Every structure is written in C-alpha cells, then in structure tokens.
Structure 1
C-alpha cells in the first residue's frame, strides 16, 4: 500500500489516536500508547473528539444516584 504524497507521520499518529478515542478506547490507554506523560496531555490534544462524554457521564452518574 502506498502512502499518499504529502502525508506526514504526525498525521498518521493523530489518525490513530482520534480513531481509538472515537471508538471508546480509554484515554489512559491511548495516552500510554502515544507516549504522553499523562492522560491530561492526550485530553487537551484530542478533547474535541470526545464530544458527548459529558452527557454520557451525567447519564451514568444519574443512574447510579437513582439506584
């Protein structure tokens, strides 16, 4: 398979991380694989891809509180 001209390694790295996060892989795992010192670095870089996580968290917490 040929890599399209103009593709840089950093682009593939970002694709990997964003694909993992958008498929629900834990941010702590992605941070480790990316070599980030903490999940905070990963979060700051890719938080725009984690839309809906606040509403999912609120939903989970609401269910736990109701139980």
Structure 2
C-alpha cells in the first residue's frame, strides 16, 4: 500500500459513515468540494433521496 491508498481509504470511510463532504474536502486539502465530489460521489448515491425525505418530513410536520 502507498500513502495515497490510505488517503483514499480515509476519505471513503468518512463519506460512507455520513461525515459531510465539506469536512472531508478540507481534511484532504482539496481546494474545493468539487474535487472531492468528483472523486468520491459514487459513495453517496442516496444522498439526494435522503435529503428529499428529510425535507418532505419537515414540510409535513410544519403543515
């Protein structure tokens, strides 16, 4: 294993366990979250549907 493999392992595990991509991008030293998202977006396939469910729930409670 090389150092890059450990970095990738770290970032992958953080995102897979729900740590915000903004935090991971900062820890990885990426200049923007766009870089992080481009590399690791495959680890967050349900993030949009999860966000939609949370918003729908909150809107239903507010009504």
> Which bracket does the TM-score occupy, shorter chain normalised?
0.7 to 0.9
Confirm whether residue 30 of structure 1 aligns to residue 24 of structure 2: yes
CA distance in 2, matches of 1:46, 1:26: 12
Aligned equivalent of 2:7, options 10, 13, 26: 13
State TM-score, norm by structure 2: 0.88
Flag structure 2 segments of 5+ consecutive residues without an equivalent: none
Kindly indicate which of the two structures has a greater share of residues assigned to helix.
2
Flag structure 1 segments of 5+ consecutive residues without an equivalent: 1-6
Confirm whether residue 61 of structure 1 aligns to residue 58 of structure 2: no
Aligned equivalent of 1:47, options 37, 41, 44: 41
- After superposition, the CA RMSD in angstroms is 0.9
Q: Which has the larger radius of gyration?
A: 1
Matched residue pairs, number?
61
Deviation at 1:9, TM superposition (A): 1.1
Deviation at 1:65, TM superposition (A): 2.5
